[in-house]
Structure 1
């Protein structure tokens, strides 16, 4: 087995194993030039409580990567079990940035946030780190809030969105 074949083999195994790890689903969003730009991400992590830091993994050549560093303030919405449409819309390539037949993202003085989400974070771009084929964006949390605890969470498992309750 060549090194390239071995690399492809381990990539396939890692992808298969990682699909078995249930993750929450988030929408990362910024406002730039009067427009909302957003993406679905399940690669969100709380990095530190003191100071309050969170991380999200993005593609280095993606539009969101450049906007996060340029705009510097972004919102992270933790989706609830009824918000699969948001997750699918912002995960689609070649879509426009406004959700169709969905409520628009909340805006105003804060970065765009999905209405009625389970929780949200308003973050300032702290720094970024290249980690393999992605960039880890570190955000300093300047504000956060929790939604209705009676509403279940949206998770991603085995390549599918699913609702889950306590």
Structure 2
């Protein structure tokens, strides 16, 4: 028999799944908005779709609901400070963005994606934002990883 789990146990359990770290961005009324997200996954190759899960209580949620396009920047190993910044622990420097067709993405990221909103799916206390990739740029840097609430790096065998 399965028993429901509380949110702390849920978070601790899934925190044992290592993930990359992304910053989701959009621009509204000339201002760039962003948030850190680790709930990011590839959905489809044809068409090229990815998904990011955003809590309905997050400030970014309503901004994404109104956005027809948004950006996702997969952070490089040396960008933990930007992950913290967009999670609410503001950094002393302001982040630098580059824009592709009006969509802001974080400068210096491992990967920059520009997406056209494809679908929004309500799922519990989150909304799944599925975007079709219209632009992708990547570098050969190493990725910032997140595991058990801490940042780390990949160590190949």
Provide the residue aligned with 1:32 in structure 2.
Answer: 28
Listed as ranges, the gaps of 5+ residues in structure 1 are: 1-5
TM-score when scaled to structure 1? Answer: 0.84
Provide the residue aligned with 2:66 in structure 1.
Answer: 70
Q: Could you tell me how far 1:10 is from its partner in structure 2? A: 4.8
1:156 pairs with 2:146: yes
Question: Contact conserved, 2:115 with 2:132, CA < 8 A, in 1?
Answer: yes
After the TM superposition, which segments of 4 or more aligned residues of structure 1 sit over 6 Å from their partners?
Answer: none
Secondary structure class of the residue paired with 2:103: coil
Question: Contact conserved, 1:82 with 1:163, CA < 8 A, in 2?
Answer: no
Distance in 1 of aligned mates of 2:74 and 2:14:
20
Listed as ranges, the gaps of 5+ residues in structure 2 are: none
RMSD of the TM alignment (CA)? 1.9
Question: Contact conserved, 1:110 with 1:122, CA < 8 A, in 2?
Answer: no
Larger helix fraction of residues: 1
Greater C-alpha Rg: 1
Q: 2:56 aligns with which of 53, 60, 70?
A: 60
Distance in 1 of aligned mates of 2:77 and 2:135:
23
Q: 1:13 to 1:62 in 2, by over 3 A?
A: closer
Distance in 2 of aligned mates of 1:112 and 1:164:
27
